[in-house]
């Protein structure tokens, strides 16, 4: 969800992440034709940087991700073409999906298991590809239109105009196809600027799957290549859903993604609700052609690991995945899919409202970035609760910010401090008039 109002849409947009790239008509233009700096791994520390760093929280300043050395200054810079905050940099090396005792890692391994059992030694697995990718990989290579909303600075974290934090694992499809892989799974952390509620967090994890067929595969079947791939895709993913959820009712929904045609979503009926499990489809011929695979056909899917893990492990709030509290971490063990999480305690929330006159540049994602920057994981939800335009044409928004720690009770003083800081930054950075 980007510019849409958060107003108790929480229900209807529950787990809306997966669908970000499926809307053909959600267009927004943006342009920041400012020169970008190169991706250097070493840079001299200026006086100014040294001064700023002294006051920042200590975070690891050089990371190694998928064999690439990354310094903080490569990712976070004071520059209008860069919108990556410190809080996002601090998540870059965490790789929850590579921890065998973490729900996200346990789920990844369970999916690997399904593929290993059903297609022994077939699928190549990648879970350590660098999340910093080119705009070309993230968007162009998978045919995301030039004016697609997901390319905007409001929705995606840009390191510079040519480089982003990947917003989906589809960013690696074309490169791996080009390198000759025909069966592969890519798991990784993905990044999106977004609103704040119990199912949305600016970093989450996805798994991508791709399988390529050659004419010999479909010719004997008596069906055309596309129907053959679509049939195989559905069989494979229905099996995966049963592997994870047991024998559940399922349905296929036709949809749109830029990279597949036809495109589908799989939903399962679980705990009395239809739950969107994944997006998938038959890969656009153009992607295969550009990767040197003429006369082939392929299928692809992408699934969000948090949304499935929240349901499978009964985890009520997406922030919990990042908790280092032993009362959370000790509840999960390697290979144990679907252990029900027992909440250790529910601490009281505290609500603070703030109203202001918005300007043309205002977006809810920008507001949420400020709130997260100040309150980190102490913010539970930011909700638009009132919205009106007066006779002069000025529009006022009132947002309710819910503060709640997963781990302890917050003091009034602490919350007032956070709220005061949020108000100051909203006023100064978003240039809105507080009411």
Q: Which residues bind ligand DAH (CB under 6 A)?
A: 18, 20-21, 168, 170, 208, 257, 259-260, 279-281, 300-302
Residue 161, Cα to own-chain centre: how many angstroms?
Answer: 20
**Min dist. Cβ of residue 403 to ligand DAH (A):** 30
Least distance in angstroms from the C-beta of 171 to ligand DAH: 9
As measured in angstroms, the least distance from the Cβ of 12 to ligand DAH is 18
Question: Taking CB positions, which residue lies at the least distance from ligand DAH?
Answer: 302
- Cross-strand partners of 125: 185
For residue 383, count other CB atoms closer than 10 A to its CB: 22
Nearer to ligand DAH, 257 or 332 (CB): 257
- Nearer Cβ to ligand DAH (17/404): 17
CB of 103 or CB of 279, closer to ligand DAH: 279
164: tokens are 């982003």
Nearer to ligand DAH, 305 or 311 (CB): 305
CB 235 within 8 A of CB 197: no
Side-chain-side CA neighbours of 397 within 13 Å: the count stands at: 20
Q: Which residues neighbour 419 within 8 Å (Cβ) at sequence distance 6 or greater?
A: 352, 354, 401, 403
Task: Give, as one character, the DSSP assignment of residue 44.
Answer: P
Of the pair 168, 319, the CB lying nearest ligand DAH is at: 168
Cβ nearer to ligand DAH, comparing 172 with 404: 172
Smallest distance, Å, CB 383 to ligand DAH? 24
**Closest approach of ligand DAH to the CB of residue 23, in Å:** 10
Sign (positive/negative) of CA torsion 76, 356, 203, 22?
A: negative
For residue 251, the minimal CB distance to ligand DAH (Å) is 17
Q: How far is the CB of 90 from ligand DAH (least distance, A)?
A: 23
DSSP 347: P
Which CB sits closer to ligand DAH, 203 or 418?
A: 203
Which is closer to ligand DAH, CB of 185 or CB of 378? Answer: 185
Specify the pairing of strand 203-213 against strand 183-191. antiparallel
Q: Kindly give, in sequence order, each residue whose CB lies less than 8 Å from that of residue 156, ignoring residues fewer than 6 positions away.
A: 138, 150, 164, 165, 167, 191, 192, 193
* Closest approach of ligand DAH to the CB of residue 264, in Å: 8
H-state helical runs in 76-138 = 86-89, 103-118, 135-138
Concatenated DSSP letters for 194-214? Answer: ---BTTB-SEEEEEEEEEEE-
Minimum separation from the CB atom of position 369 to ligand DAH (A):
20
Dihedral angle sign, alpha carbons of residues 424, 55, 166, 206: negative
Q: Phi/psi zone of residue 385: left (φ > 0), alpha (ψ -120 to 50 degrees), beta?
A: alpha
Cross-sheet strand order for the sheet of 203-213: 124-126, 183-191, 203-213, 297-304, 273-283, 260-270, 249-257
Q: With the C-alpha atoms ordered 203, 262, 253, 215, is the resulting torsion angle positive or negative?
A: negative
Nearest to 108 by CA among 204, 17, 183: 204
Task: CB nearer to ligand DAH: give 255 or 383.
Answer: 255
Nearer to ligand DAH, 300 or 379 (CB): 300
Least gap, CB of 151 to ligand DAH (angstroms) = 13
């Amino acid at each position: 969800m980007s510019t849409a109002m958060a107003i108790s849409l929480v229900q209807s947009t529950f787990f809306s992440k997966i669908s970000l790239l499926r809307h053909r008509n959600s267009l927004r233009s943006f342009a920041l034709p400012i020169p970008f700096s190169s991706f250097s791994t070493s840079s001299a520390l200026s006086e100014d940087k040294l001064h700023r760093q002294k006051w920042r929280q200590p975070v690891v300043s050089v990371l190694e991700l998928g064999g690439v050395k990354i310094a903080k200054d490569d990712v976070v810079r004071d520059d209008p073409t860069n919108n990556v905050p410190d809080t996002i940099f601090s998540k870059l090396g965490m790789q929850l999906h590579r921890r065998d005792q973490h729900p996200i890692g346990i789920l990844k391994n369970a999916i690997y298991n399904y593929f290993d059992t059903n297609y022994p030694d077939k699928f190549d697995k990648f879970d350590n590809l660098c999340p910093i990718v080119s705009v070309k990989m993230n968007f162009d290579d998978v045919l995301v239109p030039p004016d697609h909303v997901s390319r905007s600075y409001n929705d995606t974290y840009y390191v510079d105009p040519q480089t982003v934090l990947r917003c989906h694992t589809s960013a690696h499809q074309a490169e791996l196809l080009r390198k000759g892989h025909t069966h592969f799974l890519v798991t990784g952390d993905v990044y999106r600027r977004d609103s704040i509620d119990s199912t949305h967090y600016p970093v989450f994890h996805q798994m991508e799957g791709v399988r390529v067929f050659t004419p010999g595969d479909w010719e004997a079947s008596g069906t055309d290549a596309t129907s053959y791939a679509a049939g195989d895709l559905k069989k494979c993913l229905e099996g995966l859903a049963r592997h994870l959820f047991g024998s559940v009712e399922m349905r296929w929904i036709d949809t749109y993604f830029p990279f597949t045609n036809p495109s589908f979503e799989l939903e399962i009926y679980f705990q009395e609700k239809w739950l969107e499990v994944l997006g998938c489809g038959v890969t656009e011929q153009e992607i295969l052609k550009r990767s040197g695979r003429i006369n082939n056909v392929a299928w692809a899917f992408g699934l969000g690991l948090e949304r499935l893990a929240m349901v499978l492990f009964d985890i009520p709030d997406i922030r919990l995945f990042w908790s280092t509290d032993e009362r959370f971490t000790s509840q999960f063990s390697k290979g144990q899919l679907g252990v029900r999480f027992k909440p250790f305690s529910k601490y009281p929330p505290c609500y603070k409202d703030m109203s202001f006159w918005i300007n043309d540049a205002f977006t809810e994602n920008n507001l949420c970035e400020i709130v997260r920057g100040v309150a980190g994981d102490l913010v539970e939800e930011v909700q638009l609760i009132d919205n009106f335009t007066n006779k002069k044409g000025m529009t006022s928004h009132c947002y309710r910010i819910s503060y709640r720690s997963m781990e302890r009770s917050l003091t009034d003083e602490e919350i007032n401090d956070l709220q005061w800081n949020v108000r100051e930054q909203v006023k100064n950075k978003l240039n809105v008039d507080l009411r």
